[in-house]
Amino acid sequence: METSRLILRPFTESDAAAASYNSRQPSVAHYMPEMVKETEEAARGWIRHVNQELVDTGKPCVLLAIVRKADERCIGCIFIHRKEEWGNIVEMGYYVADEYQSDGYATEAGKAMLWWAFEKAGQDELSVFAKPGNEASRRVIEKLGFIYSDTRLLPHNGGDCAFDCFRLYHIDDIPGPEWEDMRGLYRRYRSEPMGAFFNARAGGYNSATSNYYDYQKFGAYFPKTGEAVRILDVGCGTGIELDHIWAQCPNAHITCVDVSRGMLDVLLKNHPGRHGCVTVVEASYTDWEYPREAFDIVTSHATMHHLFPEEKTGVYRKIRGTLKPSRVYIEGDFIVGDALLAEQYRRRHEAITEGLTEKERASGEYHVDIPLTLDVQIQLLRDAGFASVEVLADETTLQYCRVILEAKK
C-alpha cells in the first residue's frame, strides 16, 4: 500500500538492521517490549519466522514495514492479527521509531491499514490496545476514530499488564488509503431533509428494502382479528407492511402518517382497492397532533432509528396517549449489539449534521441513522410509561440487528 509519504510492504531480511534499531528506541522498547530485537540477527530470525508462520498457519494476519518514500528507510511496523489469547479479537498494532514520531507517520500508516482491513479484507471490527500513559499512541488512536472501551488486565510478555482497549466498527465505506479523519469521512454523507430524502427515493424504495426487511414476519405478529380495529402506522413510507397487517386484521382501518408525499403517493398507488380502508396524513410524526385514545394498535417499522433517545421518548409518549386502554404498540426497527457502536453512530450523526440547528439535529427532521442497543430501546419505552415491553423477534448480531417489540399500555 502507498500513501503520499509512505509505502507499507512486507518485511524482507534486508530490513533486519532497521527493524532491530527501531525496536530498541526508548519509547518503543518501553511500550512494546515484545517487539524488541536486540541484534540484527535476532531481527532477521524474527522476519523469517513471521513470514513463514503466515504461510504455514494461514492465520488472518498481516505485518508490514512502514517505509518512507523520501529515503526508503524503514521507520516502523504496523500489523493486524487475531489474538486468540485475548478473546479472539482482531487487533491492529503499530510503532514508529522515536526520531520519526510526532510527524504523523503512525496516523498515515494507520489510515491505510484501516482502509485495507475494512475495504479489502472484509473486517467488520478492529481493536487496538495502548498501555495507560502512552499518550502519543492514544492521540493516533483517537485520530483514527477508535472509541475507548475499557481498561483490561491482559496476559502480556510473560505476565499480566493493564491495557486501555479501543474499538472501531466498519459502518461507512473508506474511499482510499488516505482520508482526512473520521469526522471528514462522515461528512461525505449529506444531511438531507427527511421528506426530500424519501421523496427522491420513493419510486425504488420497495425493491431497495426487500432484502433488508421481512415484512411478512413483521405482519404475522399483529393480533389476528376480524373486528374493525383502528391502526395507526407512523413513518409508514410506501406501506409495504400494510398487506401483511390486513392478512391478520382484514377489517382494519389504517391511518398512515409520513413526512414524504412521494412515499404516500406510492402507498396509494400500490393499494388501489384499499383506499376506503386507508387514511394518509402528510406530516412528521414527531410534530403531528395525535388524537387521544383513538387507536387499537399503533405500529412503526424501520423509522425510529432516525431519532435521538430524548426525541424518541417524546414520540413514544404520544403513541401511548393515542392508544386505547390496554392496547399495544408494535415496533420493528434496527438496533446495534454494542454500546460503543451506538456511540460511533452518534458521533457520525454529529459530524454529518454540523451546521444544522439544534432542533433539526435532535428531531429527526434530517435523514441520519442513530440506532441504539436493545436495552436502551426497551428502557425508552418504559420511560414513556408503557406497562410492559416484550421482544417478539430479535436477530441480534453486532451491527444493524433487527428487533420487533410489543409495548402494552
Max CA pair span of the chain: 84
Is there a single domain that holds both residue 169 and residue 198? no
- Report the distance separating Cα 335 and Cα 328, nearest Å: 20
- Domain encompassing residue 127: 6-178
- Report the distance separating Cα 19 and Cα 83, nearest Å: 22
In a domain, 335, yes or no: yes
Q: How high is the pLDDT of residue 59?
A: 60
In a domain, 55, yes or no: yes
Is there a single domain that holds both residue 222 and residue 342? yes
Set of cell numbers at residue 52? 513463514
**Mean pLDDT, rounded, for 380-399:** 88
Is there a single domain that holds both residue 150 and residue 12? yes
In a domain, 188, yes or no: no
Is there a single domain that holds both residue 213 and residue 361? yes
Is there a single domain that holds both residue 141 and residue 198? no
Whether the per-residue pLDDT at 57 is higher than 60: the answer is no
Q: How high is the pLDDT of residue 226?
A: 96
CATH code, domain carrying 120: 3.40.630.30
Whether the per-residue pLDDT at 58 is higher than 70: the answer is no
Is there a single domain that holds both residue 302 and residue 382? yes
> What confidence tens digit (pLDDT) does each residue in 67-99 have?
999 999 999 999 998 887 777 889 999 999 999
- Long-range contact pairs involving 213-216 (C-beta distance under 8 Å, separation at least 24): 213/240, 213/301, 213/302, 213/332, 213/402, 214/402, 215/240, 215/241, 215/244, 215/301, 216/244
Is there a single domain that holds both residue 298 and residue 208? yes
> What confidence tens digit (pLDDT) does each residue in 335-375 have?
998 899 999 999 998 888 887 777 776 656 677 889 999 99
Query: How much is the mean pLDDT over the chain?
Result: 90
Q: How many domains does the chain divide into?
A: 2
Burial letters for 361-397: b for 16+ Cβ neighbours within 10 Å, e otherwise?
bbbbbbbbebbbbbeebbebbeebebeebeeeeeeee
Angle (CA) 34 3 142, round 5°: 55
Choose one of 143, 178, 213: the last residue of a domain: 178
Residue 376, H or E segment: helix 374-383
In a domain, 189, yes or no: no
Task: Judge whether 233 and 239 are in contact, CB under 8 Å.
Answer: yes
In a domain, 184, yes or no: no
Confidence of residue 192 (pLDDT cuts 50, 70, 90): confident
Residue 66 backbone phi and psi in degrees, to 5:
-95, 115
Choose one of 178, 210, 238: the last residue of a domain: 178
Listed range (100-114, 184-198, 219-233) with the worst mean pLDDT: 184-198
Is there a single domain that holds both residue 264 and residue 370? yes
Is there a single domain that holds both residue 238 and residue 293? yes
> What confidence tens digit (pLDDT) does each residue in 246-258 have?
999 999 999 999 9
Q: How high is the pLDDT of residue 294?
A: 97
In a domain, 61, yes or no: yes
CATH code, domain carrying 367: 3.40.50.150
Task: Judge whether 19 and 47 are in contact, CB under 8 Å.
Answer: yes
Q: How high is the pLDDT of residue 56?
A: 60
DSSP single-letter state for residue 193: B
Nearest CA-CA partner of 242 in 210, 209, 216, 263: 216
In a domain, 183, yes or no: no
More confident residue, 254 or 211: 254
Is there a single domain that holds both residue 200 and residue 163? no
Choose one of 110, 145, 178: the last residue of a domain: 178
Whether the per-residue pLDDT at 330 is higher than 70: the answer is yes
Half-sphere exposure of 226 (CA within 13 A, CB side): 0
Nearest CA-CA partner of 300 in 357, 351, 258: 258
On the 0-12 / 13-18 / 19+ scale of CB atoms within 10 A, 274 is middle
- Report the distance separating Cα 292 and Cα 318, nearest Å: 9
Is there a single domain that holds both residue 100 and residue 243? no
Q: How high is the pLDDT of residue 361?
A: 65
Is there a single domain that holds both residue 20 and residue 132? yes
In a domain, 1, yes or no: no
